[in-house]
């Protein structure tokens, strides 16, 4: 886009720009929302309800009574004064509107670069706008955002001419003796900024309004602010790194929504502890909220560093339960490695307990034997767990958890196992705030946990939606550092030992940093916070996960993660499928089974397929057939149902075989 516009500019001597939604953005998704930000203040100060509706109607009424092309702001407020009937209050509200324009107006970084290119190449530059604000106000808005105005601004209300009927372009031409053939105009309105100048022989470029590219799903003022700023970052035209855009486009609303939920529940408390790694970005955002004088800390903890040590307080027969993640049992070797215990395991001893090698999995069938094996080596295990318990407890005390009667911890979810471990080690009441919570047995902390998207699996619809892609949510709530393995004492200070053997830490850093920068701008307007729906915040990432676009899949292709305690085996986010398997109906069940193991559930790429067009064609064919097959299995036709009842299965099988011969 940038190169296309620069080529047009190179061919011309004169460049004119539309102003609003082109050179300048408002940090809301709809212009009317500027007026909505005034509603509450005007109601409180002047007892005038629904000012924004009055303001919109006043502009309509003002246009009916004038005999010119456009109205002035003063004329709009003359109509408002007919309702308010108090000139002093009317003038005060008018000043408030101008102040809001200044507060919410921001530069378009893409168009600022285009403007600078024009200046550097000695082009004649004009600013042209269909607008009710006078030139004095608009000059102030332009200059405060880096544009230089020098008798080259033309506004419809002052010129009595508009772009929408071409008269403003004619007015500018006559005033400056311009040649249409040497002129290019750039703006966001398809009719007045693109078609109308072309009718006159002016070359034009349609710059899409950033708020028109996606459906506007904001309902509240604060949602409009989030969406307006998001769209500005994502669609302004500048080329960004993929992972930076990933943060702007999909994740910032989720991070902000969740952190806002935490803030509203804890703003009167004296402490909040964010648990690694899920709380890394949340802590940074939380510190942006107003009146934050509380004790805020980030704890380097993990299931591995706390759960097993907390078992020192319990019996060893429960130890194995803490080594299973996502309902997947682990191998004997991994269980030992998880605890960093150097035990000389005798192969003959292992066989006495029904195992062949250290690589045998601990399953429901051999679980009892595994417990017996653990009991046999309990002395070595117990010694290590005691040491880990002492260090873990000292670390938690060092980080300040024992200073408070009520301790608040923040994590992504889901069963509150780390919260329970902290509570066990410190024997304290711990309140947990989570992205989502699920029932986790009869535990004393159950009534002290709070879920944002779903609480105790309710609403079930949201729980199922998130759990269908749970590893993709775990991915975004990661951190640019590794997991906490255990703790060591160094110069009388307890320090975490981190496992930084991850291949995506720099990627996490990119999308979380871009999200944070965007949220910093949003938080400038937190005083206008009214409401923020959690499904609004979820909608952008949810859509991304469902669309499974080829270009996005390619970016995740090289990423993998370890789903279990102790990093031994990695699982890919995207499975790679052979083209021949996808084309062979008999192998589709294998394809389905393999893709179900993708951490981005159901996603795959095809060996040898490097274009979006071919990938979409092949994957669409496969998915269409599989959906059709699923429907036929789950919803058989009436004839099929009757056939199944009347004709025995064995007879159907014999007939089918005979026909094949």
pLDDT in tens, 474-507: 999 999 999 998 999 999 999 999 987 787 899 9
Mean pLDDT of the chain: 88
Q: 3-class secondary structure for 444-488?
A: CCHHHEEEEEEECCECHHHHHHHHCCHHHHHHHCCCCCCEEEEEE
pLDDT in tens, 220-247: 999 999 999 999 999 999 999 999 999 9
pLDDT at 324: 47
pLDDT at 372: 81
pLDDT at 81: 97
> Percent of the chain scored above 70 by pLDDT?
88
- Residues 629 and 610: their CA atoms lie apart, in Å, by 28
**Token output for 314:** 């319990």
- Residues 97 and 253: their CA atoms lie apart, in Å, by 27
pLDDT in tens, 340-390: 455 667 778 888 888 888 888 888 788 788 878 877 877 777 777 788 899
pLDDT at 8: 96
pLDDT at 240: 92
Average pLDDT estimate for 614-635 = 67
pLDDT at 660 over 50: no
pLDDT at 313 over 80: no
pLDDT at 312 over 80: no
pLDDT in tens, 90-118: 999 999 999 999 999 999 999 999 999 99
How do the domains of the chain map onto residue ranges?
2-206, 280-459, 570-661
- Residues 400 and 502: their CA atoms lie apart, in Å, by 29
Burial label, 596 (beta-carbon count in 10 A; 0-12, 13-18, 19+): exposed
pLDDT at 659: 44
- Interior angle at CA 249, CA 247 and CA 251, nearest 5: 50
**Are the C-beta atoms of residues 243 and 252 closer than 8 Å to each other?**
no
pLDDT in tens, 174-218: 999 999 999 999 999 999 999 999 999 999 999 999 999 999 999
Average pLDDT estimate for 51-66 = 95
Burial label, 358 (beta-carbon count in 10 A; 0-12, 13-18, 19+): middle
pLDDT at 582: 84
Per-residue DSSP letter, 180: G
pLDDT at 319: 58
pLDDT at 593: 86
pLDDT in tens, 443-460: 554 458 999 999 999 999
- Domain 2-206: CATH superfamily, name plus number: HAD superfamily/HAD-like (3.40.50.1000)
pLDDT at 442 over 80: no
pLDDT in tens, 560-576: 886 544 444 578 999 99
CA 301 to chain CA centroid, nearest Å = 24
**Looking at the chain, how many residues does it have?**
661
pLDDT at 149 over 80: yes
Instruction: Kindly report which listed range (169-178, 388-397, 570-579, 618-627) carries the lowest average pLDDT score.
Output: 618-627
Which pTM does this prediction carry?
0.88
**CA contacts within 13 A on the Cβ side of 378:** 13
């Amino acid at each position: 886009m940038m190169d296309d516009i620069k080529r047009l500019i190179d061919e011309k001597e004169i460049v004119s720009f539309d102003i609003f939604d082109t050179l300048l953005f408002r940090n809301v998704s709809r212009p009317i929302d500027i007026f909505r930000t005034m509603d509450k203040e005007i109601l409180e100060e002047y007892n005038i309800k629904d000012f924004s509706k009055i303001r919109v109607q006043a502009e309509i009424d003002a246009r009916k009574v004038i005999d010119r092309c456009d109205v002035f702001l003063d004329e709009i407020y003359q109509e408002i004064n007919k309702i308010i009937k108090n000139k002093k209050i009317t003038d005060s509200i008018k000043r408030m509107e101008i102040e809001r324009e200044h507060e919410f107006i921001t530069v378009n970084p893409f168009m600022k670069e285009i403007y600078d290119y024009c200046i550097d190449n000695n082009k004649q530059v004009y600013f042209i706008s269909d607008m009710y604000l006078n030139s004095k106000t608009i000059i102030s808005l332009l200059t405060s955002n880096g544009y230089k105005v020098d008798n080259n601004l033309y506004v419809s209300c002052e010129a009595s001419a508009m772009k929408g009927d071409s008269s403003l372009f004619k007015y500018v031409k006559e005033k400056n003796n311009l040649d249409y053939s040497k002129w290019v105009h750039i703006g966001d309105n398809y009719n007045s900024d693109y078609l109308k100048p072309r009718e006159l022989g002016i070359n034009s470029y349609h710059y899409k309004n950033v708020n028109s590219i996606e459906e506007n799903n904001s309902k509240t003022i604060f949602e409009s602010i989030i969406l307006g700023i998001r769209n500005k970052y994502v669609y302004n035209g500048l080329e960004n790194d993929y992972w930076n855009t990933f943060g702007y486009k999909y994740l910032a609303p989720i991070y902000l929504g969740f952190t806002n939920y935490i803030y509203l529940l804890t703003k009167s408390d004296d402490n909040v502890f964010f648990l690694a790694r899920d709380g890394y970005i949340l802590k940074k955002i939380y510190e942006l909220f107003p009146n934050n004088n509380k004790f805020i800390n980030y704890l380097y903890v993990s299931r591995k560093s706390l759960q097993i040590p907390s078992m020192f307080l319990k019996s060893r027969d429960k130890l194995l339960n803490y080594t299973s993640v996502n309902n997947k049992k682990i191998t004997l070797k991994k269980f030992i490695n998880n605890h960093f215990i150097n035990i000389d395991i005798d192969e003959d001893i292992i066989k006495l307990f029904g195992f062949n090698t250290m690589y045998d999995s601990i399953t429901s069938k051999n679980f009892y034997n595994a417990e017996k094996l653990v009991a046999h080596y309990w002395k070595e295990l117990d010694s290590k767990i005691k040491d880990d318990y002492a260090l873990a407890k000292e670390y938690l005390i060092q980080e300040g958890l024992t200073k408070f009667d009520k301790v608040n911890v923040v994590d992504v979810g889901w069963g509150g196992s780390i919260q329970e471990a902290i509570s066990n080690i410190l024997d304290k009441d711990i309140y947990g705030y989570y992205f989502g919570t699920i029932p986790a047995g009869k535990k004393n902390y159950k009534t002290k946990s709070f879920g944002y998207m779903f609480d105790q699996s309710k609403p079930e619809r949201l729980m199922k939606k998130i759990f269908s892609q749970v590893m993709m949510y775990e991915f975004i709530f990661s951190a640019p550092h590794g997991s906490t393995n255990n703790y060591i004492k160094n110069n009388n200070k307890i320090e975490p030992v981190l496992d930084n053997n991850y291949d995506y830490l720099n990627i996490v850093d990119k999308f979380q940093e871009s999200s944070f920068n965007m949220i910093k701008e949003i938080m400038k307007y937190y005083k206008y916070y009214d409401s923020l729906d959690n499904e609004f915040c979820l909608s952008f990432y949810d859509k991304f996960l469902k669309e499974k676009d080829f270009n996005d899949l390619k970016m995740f292709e090289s990423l993998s993660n370890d789903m279990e305690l102790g990093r031994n085996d990695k699982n890919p986010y995207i499975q790679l499928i052979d083209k021949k398997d996808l084309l062979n109906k008999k192998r589709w069940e294998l394809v389905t089974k393999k893709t179900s193991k993708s951490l981005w559930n159901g996603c795959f790429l095809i060996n040898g397929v490097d274009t979006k067009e071919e990938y979409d064609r092949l994957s669409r064919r496969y998915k269409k057939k599989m959906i059709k097959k699923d429907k036929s299995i789950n919803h058989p036709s009436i004839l099929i149902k009757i056939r199944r009842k009347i004709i025995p299965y064995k007879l159907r099988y014999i007939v089918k075989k005979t026909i094949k011969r």
